[in-house]
Amino acid sequence: MNLSPRLAFAWSPQSGASQTKTVIRGGFGVFYERFAEGLTLQTNRFDGSNQQQFIVTDPPILGSFPNVPSTEALEPFVIAGTVWQTAESLRSPYTIQSAISVERQLPFNFTGALAYINSTGSHYLRTRNINAPIPGSDGSAHSESRPLPGLGNVFEYESNGKFRQHMLTITASNRLNKHYTLFASYLLGRSEGDTDGVGTFPANGLDLSAEYGRSAYDIRHRGFLGGVINLPRAVSLNPLVIISSGAPFNITTGIDSNGDTLFTERPAFASGQNGTAEKVTQLGAFSA
């Protein structure tokens, strides 16, 4: 029942009998993504009985690599067995995308276009440890209490993420002759969301309120310059130059402070720069 209607139009305003030089195009559509088969196979394998996964932290056992530890050696870690499952409320992620563009024939055989694209995503996938240790009353994150007693980590595929993107594109092209074609484009974009896909784990699985921000696709400026050179014997060259601003990045502490076996914790801005737990970087002073 995932209906995905799509509508598009193209209109060329014409004045008199002269050939039109402008085309206005627009479109709207709903685009769904499938829940990958590999994710279902993952939940079937690691359901707690078919195949077990353990989190081993004992230095002697880790030091025995590449030798495989015995079953007896792994028995103390059976409580930390990891289960993968799919949320009962999971839905297919979808993106509602709309676009409007104006194309114009320019002098000297150039063609230019200006387009705006808006994308709104709902039910985007993420993975969360729904059985992470509950912090104690003293704030300690390594309490033995868990939401699901008797189980270790429970990694769940969920579809509660959202995504927003605005993109403006300017393109120009010129077919100089049958041998040479030039094109150039510039993209100005902004993307925000609270997940970058099914492989995204939140910093705190018990609180998703701080996850919304710049997405991995938020590269503000991108430029492309290229062309096509047709050579004899059906050989063609396609030179291409790409210039872009930097992609966003994440800052993590590298410490599993909440006991969920994930190293996704982010530091907080430090109040000063003299504390022993503070780390001063070129981006500011942080504390774990």
Residue-by-residue DSSP string for 14-75: --TTSPP-EEEEEEEEEEE----HHHHHHHHHTSSSSS-------HHHHHTTTSPPPHHHHG
Q: Which of 159, 25, 183 is nearest to 95 (CA)?
A: 159
SS3 211: coil
- Taking 3-state DSSP, the helix, strand and coil percentages for the chain, each rounded to the nearest 5, stand at 10, 40, 50
CA 212 to chain centroid, in Å, comes to 12
SS3 158: strand
Run means of pLDDT, 10 residues per run, the chain, 288 residues:
94 78 96 94 87 77 86 73 89 97 92 97 95 72 75 91 97 90 96 94 88 93 95 92 93 86 88 67 82
pLDDT of residue 168: 98
pLDDT of residue 152: 81
Q: Identify the helix (H) or strand (E) that includes residue 183.
A: strand 180-193
Strands (E), 72-153: 83-86, 94-106, 110-129
What's the predicted TM-score (pTM) here? 0.79
Parse the chain into domains and list their residue ranges.
6-46+82-249, 250-288
